[in-house]
Amino acid sequence: LLPRQMVALVGPSGCGKTTLLSIVGALDTEFEGRAQLLGHDLATMSDDERSRLRAMRIGFVFQSFCLLDHLTVQQNVEVPLWLRDDAPDAAASAKRASEVLERVGLAGREGESVMQLSGGERQRVAVARAIVNRPKLLLADEPTGNLDGATGEKIFELFDSIRTDDDCAVLIATHDAALAQRADRIVTLEDGRIVDTVDVVPPRRSAAP
């Protein structure tokens, strides 16, 4: 994965897309072979080192959102900041959370309960939480799977802006063929193995008359 590159993982349910995301995201250490991420050999890192890598360099967006219902919108976004070794003070943390919430279109919603939000809004909070630490790698597991088409399109546009504006690589596991075709590369998995890798050629634009 290169900065600003978007790669789509595709394949049938159970083929290993989520497992691969977990390995790449330094969550799953039970794998064979060698895995390197951002200059680190994941197999030789300690639990603490992997935790720091996740906190500082990697953002996660889950299909089921994985928000904390007892926290406000702002507090959910701030959680990764609280986990940093150099955690900012309360004022700086709140300011950063407001910045990313504005970016995902939820300015002014900081004090609301996430229980009051629609599915699309909850996913936007999840995206804000994932990018609050300015990660270099954004991982998304079926991020549009629970959303209607129009809302899913807006979430994809968010990912597209994040990777281009933040020099962030994006790896998405998806069943959405149309979304996959808009990535830079499509990686197909079957039975836990990569069986195909295709670089997607962007459609040619018609010359101006």
pLDDT per residue as tens digits for the range 137-193 = 999 999 988 888 888 888 889 999 999 999 999 999 999 888 899 999 999 999 989
Q: Which of 6, 62, 5, 8 is closest to 194 using CA atoms?
A: 8
Q: 34-41: long-range contacts (C-beta < 8 A, 24 or more apart)? A: 37/137, 38/136, 38/137
**What digits encode the pLDDT tens for the residues 117-153?**
999 999 999 999 999 999 999 999 999 888 888 888 8
| The pLDDT of residue 189 | 96
Q: Which of 74, 26, 78, 16 is closest to 49 using CA atoms?
A: 26
Q: What is the mean pLDDT of residues 69-79?
A: 96
pTM of the model as a whole: 0.89
| The pLDDT of residue 206 | 42
The Cα 177–Cα 155 span in angstroms is 15
**What digits encode the pLDDT tens for the residues 12-64?**
999 999 999 998 888 887 777 778 887 888 888 888 888 888 888 999 998 88
Instruction: Tell me how far apart the terminal alpha carbons of the chain are, to the nearest angstrom.
Output: 37
The Cα 63–Cα 84 span in angstroms is 24
The Cα 74–Cα 17 span in angstroms is 30
Q: Around 82, how many Cα atoms within 13 Å sit in the side-chain half-sphere? A: 9
Q: What is the mean pLDDT of residues 3-8?
A: 93
Distances in Å between the alpha carbon of 206 and those of 50, 55, 61, 69, 117? 47, 44, 35, 48, 41
**What digits encode the pLDDT tens for the residues 91-112?**
999 999 999 999 999 999 999 9
Give the confidence band of 207 by pLDDT, cuts at 50, 70, 90.
very low
Strand partners, 61: 140
Q: What is the mean pLDDT of residues 71-78?
A: 97
| The pLDDT of residue 203 | 47
Pairing mode, strands 185-190 and 193-199: antiparallel
**Would you say residue 11 has pLDDT above 90?**
yes
